Chains A and B, each alone.
Chain A
Amino acid sequence: QVQLVESGGGVVQPGRSLRLSCATSGFTFSTFAMHWVRQTPGKGLEWVAFIWSDGSNKHYANSVKGRFTISRDNSKNALYLQMNSLRVEDTAMYFCAGDPPRSGFAFDIWGQGTMVTVSS
């Protein structure tokens, strides 16, 4: 069945780095655009970044631009998020989500999330 499993979250000090991974299975990963979406506990959803199916194009939310980098390895069916210069306000649950072709940025499949806490 379709699975997305995030990992790499944890507690980190402000200014440090963290790399999130999203392992996928059960669908044709190389045909899906992929996204990272985050949610501060008790608050709403915030889109973070997305990458085209072939990795040729990437977009970021203004709040993370220049600090976060999204990447993918289609040979490993995996998605990544490199997070540098972390801030307290980056504390959130981070979800990876898949966006099938011609769906209008519809996040059809989601992982269970990995928690990132930025605190001194």
Chain B
Amino acid sequence: QSVLTQPPSASGTPGQRVTVSCSGSSSDIGSNTVNWYQQLPGTAPKLVIYLNTQRPSGVPDRFSGSKSGTSASLAISGLHPDDEADYYCAAWDDGLKSVIFGGGTKLTVL
């Protein structure tokens, strides 16, 4: 059972901007930073945003992250066909003493 809530799906056309939301609570997102992962079919996840807003080297600046209170968002602008993937948010939970993931959002590029 995922403690962080994400929409199961999202979609957009090439060039559009899409956002993926991630909702948590005071013990996870409200108290800790959020990270985002992209997972292409049959591959290991890849970190795309860390510490709420930071992009690892090599991740295009089309990817951005934000956080407010107990919610966070991943935005992808100038959508490309190869952005089609599953996206997961994650954060440390102070109560569970665990890293928790969202259930994942399947992004479709139409």
Contact = CB atoms under 8 A, between A and B. Distances in A.
A62 B98 contact: yes
Nearest to B102: A44
B50 A35 contact: no
A45 B47 contact: no
Contact residues of B: prevailing secondary structure? strand
Contact of B44 (A47, A60, A111): A111
Nearest to A95: B44
Nearest to A104: B33
B44 A103 contact: no
Contact of B90 (A61, A95, A105, A110): A105
Instruction: Sort chain B's interface into a size bin.
Output: 20 to 34
A108 B50 contact: yes
Interface in B33-91: 33, 35, 37, 39, 44-47, 50-51, 56, 88, 90-91
A44 B39 CA distance: 10
A50 B99 CA distance: 9
Contacts of A95: 44-45
A107 B35 contact: yes
B101 to A, nearest CB: 5
Given A104-B92, A105-B35, A108-B56, A47 B47 contact: no
A110 B101 contact: no
Given A104-B92, A107-B37, A113-B44, A61 B98 contact: yes
A112 B88 CA distance: 17
Contacts of A61: 98
B103 A110 contact: no
A46 interface: yes
B96 to A, nearest CB: 7
Interface string A92-120: 00010000000111111011110000000
A59 interface: yes
Interface in A51-84: 59-62
Interface of A: 35, 37, 44-47, 50, 59-62, 95, 103-108, 110-113
Interface of B: 2, 32-33, 35, 37, 39, 44-47, 50-51, 56, 88, 90-92, 96-104
